[in-house]
Every structure is written in structure tokens, then in C-alpha cells.
């Protein structure tokens, strides 16, 4: 009998409580892996989109031309979304107000709102990974305690204890522990890695917001001077 068959045999013959614990942990592991793959794809796309937009933005093209290209694609996420929200608000306020500070501040608020929405989108389901990573070992520990309790309880009805009598209970207890770690470790690693990626993207968004605000400040200041 190989290791996989032994694991399955022990799980099949485990007590009802330990079976429930194993099912919960397996479901949590499957769900966390689904989140891990989806989040990996999302963050990779967000980083690539930010790189592409920054190259286009700093290539020296006209802001109005960049805005026209982006608005035509319907981009609402990432750095493109920040630029679109800020420039759209800038163009609207510039027609209504002659106060440069008010125009730029309005654009900053629009970009800040777009940034908050984007960060919230990127952080979606990260809390689930943190929950799986922090609670799975304790769920597995509950199954461990239950299995050991059953193992020792079986000794109370006999006069002479043997390893064979307690082995099934100890085995299912250890399997519950292993399954808890199996569910928790990838979730913790993914959470730490993805949280760091989101933080780095947020820093890039902050830097772009400040740089773009400075450009808008110069733009509206030049217009006011010529006006």
C-alpha cells in the first residue's frame, strides 16, 4: 500500500468529526488556490498595464491625445483609470473656474477616488487568503485533539493497551494537522506576496498622481498667464 492509499484509507475510516474537519480544510484549500491563481493573473496584468501606460505617458505625447485614446478603449482600472478620471475632471473644471488651485485640487480628488476603487479591486479576496492562512491550523488542531481524544478513550475499555489500538486515532489526528498546514501555508505565502505587490502598485499610483498633478498645475498656470 503506498502513501496516498494509506492517507485515503485513514481518512475514510476516520471519525465523523475528523472527516468534517478534513472536508472543511480541503474546501478551504481549493478555494484559496482558486483565489491565488486569479489574483496572480490580475496583479500581473495590472503591473503590465501600468508599465505600458507609463511608457506612453512619458513619451511626450499630448495629454488630450492620450485621453482620447484611453477614453475610446473604456479603460477604468489601473493607472489609465487614474489618468482618465483626473484629466476628465480637469477639463470639466477648467471650463467652469479660473482658479488654478481649485481646478488642480478637483482633479486630485477625482484621481484619489479612482485610486481607492482600484486598490479595493486589487485587494479583493486577499482577506480570504489571510483568513485561511490564520485559521486552518486551528481547524486542523481541533481535528487533532478530537482524534487523540478518541484514541485515549478507546484505551479506557481495555485492560492492556497496545500501539495497534491507538494507532488509528493518532493517525487521523496527525492527518488533520497535516491538512491544516497544507491549507494554511500556500495561503499565507500568497497573501504576503500579493499584499506586497498591491502596496508597490499603490506607491506607483501615488507617485503618478503627484507627478500628473504637477503637470496639470503647470498647464493651468501657463494658460492663466497667457489669459
Q: Using the predicted structure, report yes or no on whether residue 3 has a pLDDT greater than 50.
A: no
Q: What is the pLDDT of residues 86-130, one digit of tens each?
A: 999 998 888 887 788 888 899 999 999 999 999 999 999 999 999
- The C-alpha cell at 19 is 472527516
* Average pLDDT score over residue span 140-152: 84
Predicted confidence (pLDDT) at residue 13 exceeds the cutoff of 50: yes
On whether the CB atoms of residues 122 and 201 are closer than 8 A, the answer is yes
Using CA atoms, how far apart are residues 41 and 65, in angstroms rounded to an integer?
30
pTM of the model: 0.82
Domain segments of the chain: what residues? 3-42+62-226
Q: Which residue has the cell 479660473?
A: 98
pLDDT digits (tens, 9 = 90+) for 166-186: 666 777 788 889 999 999 999
Half-sphere CA count of 22, side-chain side, radius 13 A? 21
Position 226 pLDDT exceeds 50: no
Q: What is the pLDDT of residue 153?
A: 72
Work out the mean pLDDT of the chain and round it to a whole number.
85
**Residues 167-201 as b or e (16 or more Cβ within 10 Å = b):** ebbbbbbbbbbebbeebbebbbebbeebeebbeeb
**pLDDT tens readout for residues 45-101:** 999 999 999 998 888 778 888 888 887 666 677 899 999 999 999 988 888 877 888
The number of beta carbons lying within 10 Å of the beta carbon of residue 42 is 18
Buried b (16+ CB within 10 A) or exposed e, 92-129: ebbeeeeebeebbebbbebbbebbeebeeebeebbebb
Note the pLDDT of residue 111. 94
Map residue 97 onto helix, strand or coil. Answer: coil
CA distances (Å), 123 to each of 65, 115, 192, in order?
31, 12, 12
Cell reading at 203 = 506607491
Amino acid at each position: 500500500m503506498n502513501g496516498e492509499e494509506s492517507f485515503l484509507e485513514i481518512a475514510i475510516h476516520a471519525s465523523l468529526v475528523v472527516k468534517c474537519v478534513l472536508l472543511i480544510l480541503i474546501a478551504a484549500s481549493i478555494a484559496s488556490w482558486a483565489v491565488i491563481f486569479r489574483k496572480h493573473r490580475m496583479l500581473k496584468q495590472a503591473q503590465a498595464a501600468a508599465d505600458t501606460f507609463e511608457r506612453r505617458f512619458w513619451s511626450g505625447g499630448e495629454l488630450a491625445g492620450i485621453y482620447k485614446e484611453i477614453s475610446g478603449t473604456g479603460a477604468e482600472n489601473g493607472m489609465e483609470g487614474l489618468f482618465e478620471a483626473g484629466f476628465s475632471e480637469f477639463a470639466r473644471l477648467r471650463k467652469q473656474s479660473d482658479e488654478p488651485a481649485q481646478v488642480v485640487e478637483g482633479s486630485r480628488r477625482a484621481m484619489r477616488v479612482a485610486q481607492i476603487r482600484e486598490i479595493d479591486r486589487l485587494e479583493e479576496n486577499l482577506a480570504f487568503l489571510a483568513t485561511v492562512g490564520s485559521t486552518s491550523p486551528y481547524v486542523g488542531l481541533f481535528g487533532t485533539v478530537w482524534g487523540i481524544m478518541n484514541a485515549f478513550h478507546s484505551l479506557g475499555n481495555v485492560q492492556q493497551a497496545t500501539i495497534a489500538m491507538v494507532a488509528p486515532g493518532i493517525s487521523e489526528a496527525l492527518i488533520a494537522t497535516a491538512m491544516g498546514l497544507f491549507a494554511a501555508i500556500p495561503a499565507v505565502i500568497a497573501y504576503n506576496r500579493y499584499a506586497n505587490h498591491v502596496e508597490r502598485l499603490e506607491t506607483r499610483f501615488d507617485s503618478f498622481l503627484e507627478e500628473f498633478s504637477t503637470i496639470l498645475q503647470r498647464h493651468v498656470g501657463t494658460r492663466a498667464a497667457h489669459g
